[in-house]
Chains A and B, each alone.
Chain A
Amino acid sequence: MTPALEIDHLSKSFGAAEAVKDLSLRIEPGEIFGLLGPNGAGKSTTINMISGVCRIDRGAVRVFGHDTVRRYRLTRRLVGVMHQEVVTDHFFTIDLALKIHSGYYGVPDDRAWRALLIERLGLSPHLHKPMHKLSGGLKRRFMVAKALIHKPQLLILDEPTAGVDVELRRTLWQFVREMNASGTTVLLTTHYLEEAEQMCGRIAIMNGGRLVALEPTEELLSRIDGRSLLLHLEVPLDQVPAPLTAWNGQLEQGGRRLRLCLPGETSMGEVLQRLSQLQLSIRDLERPRPGLEEVFLQLTGLNLTTNQEGSQ
C-alpha cells in the first residue's frame, strides 16, 4: 500500500546548525502517528519541510506517493497543517478567513463542511468577531478548522493542545479520532505524553535532529528497562535507608512516599525481603504503569515535561 507519508533521508541545516539529520520514516494510511522530541529535536522543521514552509536540503518527502517538491500542487492539497505558532490574519473574521483558506487550496467553499467544523470546534458564537479579539484558545481552535477546511487526507497537528484548557483538549482529540475514523491519516506532535500514549498507534522519537525510536506505542512502552515501585509510608522518613540507595530510592511528598527504581533483573521477592528487614511502616504498595515519560527519558536523557512551553 502507498504510504500516506514517506520521509526519505531528509536533512536540513540552518547555517552551521543541523536541524534534521538523515531522517527516514513511513506513515501508513489511516494511522495516528506521534512525533515526539524535546525542544530543538527537529519536529517542527520536519513538519515545515513536509508542508512546504521549509526548503529541503537533502532527501525527499512523498505524500501518498507524490513528491512534495515536484508535485507540490497536488501534495499540498492532500496535507492540512496546523502549525505550532498561532498565526492569524487580523483583517478578517473567522468565517471569512475559513472561506478564504478553502479558496487558497483551490477548493470551492463547502458550507456544510465549514458549518460542521465551526460547530464541532465550538467556534459558532465567535464567527463574526475580528481575529485579534479572540482568546488564545479560540485562535487554536480556528487553526484546527483552517487545517481541515480543504478536507486533507493527511492532517498534521504540531502541538495542537499547547496552552489550551482541558475541555478543549478533550473535544479536540475526540474530533481528531472521528476524522481519523473517516479516513484521515494524522501526524501529531505533542508535549503531553499521556495524549500521545492514548492517541497514537505508533510513535517516533526525535532528538538532536535524529530519529532515536520508532515503534508501536505498546512496544515502545515495553522497552523500559526496569520499573518503579512506590511505597506509601505511615511514618515519614527523613532520609532513604542505606540498603535501598542501590535501587535509587527517592523520597517524595515530604518523606511519605518512597520511590524505588528497580533494575529489570531484580526479583520482587528480594525487594520485599529487604523491606521487611528494614521494618518500614508501609501503608500501601504501588507499581505505576511505565509511561512514555520514562521511555523518553531513557532514550534522550531529557525530561520532556519540564520543557513544555519552548519551541524550536
Chain B
Amino acid sequence: MIDRLHQPRRFISWLPFATLLQKEVRRFLKVAFQTLLTPIVTASLYLFVFGATLGQRISVLEGFSYAQFVIPGLILMGVINNSFANTSSSLFISRYLGNIVDLLVTPITPPQLILAYTLAAMLRGLLVGSVVLLISFFFAELPFASPGAAAAMAAMASFLFAQFGLVAAIYANSFDALSMFNNFLILPLIYLGGVFYPVSILPPFWARLSHINPMFYLIDGFRHALLGVGDLPLGTAFTVAGLMAAALFVWASLLLGSGYRLRL
C-alpha cells in the first residue's frame, strides 16, 4: 500500500505561493469579526459622527461638505490599518508561536513569501475600504473625479503598508513592540496626515512640516482622485507614494530574503 502511494508527484513551482496566499486569506476570514467587522464598525462610527452630526456644522473645503471631505481619508485609513495589521500580525504570530518553521523548511522562495503575504493583506485592506465606501453612500455623495486613480492609490497604500507590516513583524520582539508601531507611528501619522482637515488650512510652518509625513501624500492623492481637488497635484502624490512603496518593498525583501530574525 505504502509502496504504491509513495510515488513522488509532480512539483508545481507556483503552488507554494498560491497555498500561502490561500492560507493567509483563510486566516483573516476565520477571525472575520476581528479582522473585517471591527474596522468596518469603527469607520462607520466615524462616518456617523462626522457625516450625520458634527459634519453638518463644519466646512473645511470650498464646495464640499465635511462628510465629503472626510470620507476619502476614512476609507484610506481602513485600507492602511488593515493592510498593516494583516502582514504584521500574521508574520509576527508565526514567529512568536514558532510555526514560521513550517514555511522555512519548504521550497517557497522569498519573493513568493512576500507576494503571498502582501496580496492577502491588500485583499483585507481593500475589502475593508470598499465596505466603508459603500456605507459612506448613506452619508454623502462623492463626485468620483478619477475612479481609476483612486483605486490605484488605494492599492498602492495597501501595498506600501503590507510591506511595512512585514518589516515591523521582523523587528518586533513582543506584541507590545508590535502595537507600538501602530499606536505611536501609524496612527499619529494618519491623524496628522490630513484625514480630518486639509493641510492647507494649517499655519505655514505646520503645513510645511506635514509635507514630510508620508501619509499626507497617500491621503491627499486619494482624496484628490475622488473629489477632484487636493493640496498636491495627483502626479506628485503618486510619485512620492510610489517611491515609498518601492523603498519599503526593497527593505522587506532584503529582510525576508536574508532570513533575518527568521532563520537562526
* Residue ranges of A at the interface with B (Cβ–Cβ < 8 Å): 14, 45, 48, 51-55, 72-74, 76-77, 79, 81, 83, 85, 87-92, 96, 100-101, 103-108, 110, 112-113, 116, 146, 151, 153, 178-179, 181-184
A131 to B214 alpha-carbon distance, docked (Å): 41
Which chain B residues lie closer than 8 Å to A73 at the CB level? 13, 107, 109
A104 touches B103 (CB 8 A): yes
Contact B9–A151 (Cβ < 8 Å):
yes
Give chain A residues whose Cβ lies under 8 Å from the Cβ of B26.
91-92, 96
Residues of chain B within 8 A (CB-CB) of A74 are 107
**Cross-chain contact of B19 among A88, A92, A103 (Cβ < 8 A):** A103
At the interface, yes or no: B264 with Cβ under 8 Å from chain A? yes
Question: A103, B107: Cβ atoms under 8 Å?
Answer: no
Residue of A nearest to B262 (CB): A53
Given A73-B107, A87-B101, the answer on whether A116 and B5 have CB atoms closer than 8 Å is yes
Given contact pairs A54-B263, A178-B2, A106 touches B13 in the complex (Cβ within 8 A): yes
Chain B residues within 8 Å of A, Cβ to Cβ: 1-3, 5-13, 15-16, 18-20, 22-23, 26-27, 30-31, 97-99, 101-109, 259, 263-264
Cβ-defined contact, B11 with A77, below 8 A: yes
User: Which residues of chain A are near B13, meaning CB under 8 Å?
Assistant: 73, 106
Q: A88-B99, A96-B26 are in contact. List 12 more A-B contacts (CB 8 A).
A: A77-B107, A85-B98, A100-B19, A100-B22, A103-B15, A103-B19, A104-B106, A107-B15, A108-B15, A116-B2, A151-B7, A151-B8
Inter-chain CA distance A90–B263, complex, in Å, is: 22
Q: Look across to chain B and name the residue whose beta carbon is closest to the beta carbon of A175.
A: B2
Q: Is the CB of B6 within 8 A of A151?
A: yes
What is the CA–CA distance of A107 and B16 in the complex, to the nearest angstrom? 8
Q: Which residues of A contact B263 (CB under 8 A)?
A: 52-55
Cβ of B30 to closest chain A Cβ, rounded Å: 5
Q: Which of B1, B12, B19, B98 has its CB near the most chain A CB atoms (within 10 A)?
A: B19
Q: Is A72 within 8 A of B5, CB to CB?
A: no
A-B residue pairs in contact (CB < 8 Å), sample of 26:
A14-B264, A48-B264, A53-B263, A53-B264, A54-B264, A55-B263, A73-B13, A76-B106, A79-B105, A87-B99, A91-B27, A91-B30, A92-B23, A103-B15, A104-B106, A104-B108, A105-B106, A105-B107, A106-B12, A107-B15, A151-B6, A151-B7, A153-B8, A182-B2, A182-B3, A183-B6
